[in-house]
Amino acid sequence: MASLETDLREPIPVNRDVGRMAQFRRIRRLVAVLTAMDIKIKYGDSALGYVWTIGKPMALFSILYVVFGKLVRFANVGPHYALSLLIGVMLWTYFADGVTRTMNSLVTSGNLMRKLPFPRLVIPLAASLTAFVTFGLGLLAIAIFIATNGLVPRLDWLLLILELVELYLFILGLGLVLGVMYVRLRDVAQVWELAMQLLFFLAPIVYPFTQAPARWRQVMLLNPFTQIMQDSRSLIIYPDHNVIAAHASISPLRVLPLLVVAFTLGLGIYLFKREEPWFPERV
């Protein structure tokens, strides 16, 4: 048994007048710790933890590939349908998982918020990052597929980083909006589940984008997910197609999805800041 004398030393001095940088470092550390623990919980009880992470989207991909690639053959698919589908499925899994996790995170952290004061934003940040780390494994699958498809990496693939940043911000924004609503209204989870089904088919994941009527394509591209997925496919598979950066100069409409992301994130942060003080008593 430790004696009391050694237990209770003087506190480690902490600068009370914390500057912005110190605050930022503290939040970064909180997020890192919570993310690591999220991942630990996720795989804690399963024997094949990491295998499931990659196995589930791969299974979804295989089913979709058999149904839409072999049974239902679309007329105007490109030469790399399988790779195109895989990119779509992996991005979709990340998107759906990320938004759902972020949405749920506040409600599932009720116990923590009722007992300790801390910047609440670290909770949805950690949840969305957990989804991002999981998605890292999905990227591995895509990389293997790319190699077996005989595509040679190019420098402009670095633009994919921008696409992933945009997707992360969209996931965070949407997750915040839904998460704040979920604290007040528990139906949100049900609605989101249905919305996911709809969004899956609204985005050209399984069918070629050109399958959609031309006048609808502009509308479909308002969905940032569709824009990100199409840009990523273009970058990887069809280098002669232009991505958003090139299109922006041609058609200002192509920046609209970016505005949607900015609006969603702004709304999410605004709602979060407004509701934050009441989370502990409402969740």
Binding site for other proteins (CB under 8 A): 1-2, 4, 6-8, 10-14, 16, 18, 26, 29-30, 33-34, 37, 40-41, 44-45, 111-118, 184-187, 277-278, 280-281
139-145-147-151 Cα dihedral, nearest 10 degrees:
-100
Pick the closer one to other proteins by CB: 156 or 187.
187
Q: Give me the DSSP letters along 125-137.
A: HHHHHHHHHHHHH
Residue with tokens 């999905």, as numbered in its chain: 138
Measure the CA–CA gap between 94 and 168, rounded to whole angstroms: 9
Residue with tokens 């308002």, as numbered in its chain: 222
From the CB of 123, what's the least distance to other proteins, in Å?
10
Pick the closer one to other proteins by CB: 18 or 147.
18
Pick the closer one to other proteins by CB: 154 or 186.
186
Are the beta carbons of 18 and 26 closer than 8 angstroms? yes
From the CB of 51, what's the least distance to other proteins, in Å?
20
Residue with tokens 């949100």, as numbered in its chain: 188
From the CB of 53, what's the least distance to other proteins, in Å?
18
Q: Is 185 helix (H, G, I), strand (E, B) or coil?
A: coil
Pick the closer one to other proteins by CB: 79 or 119.
119
**Angle, CA 57 vertex, CA 54 and CA 58 arms, to 5°:** 75
From the CB of 232, what's the least distance to other proteins, in Å?
35
Pick the closer one to other proteins by CB: 111 or 251.
111
From the CB of 116, what's the least distance to other proteins, in Å?
5
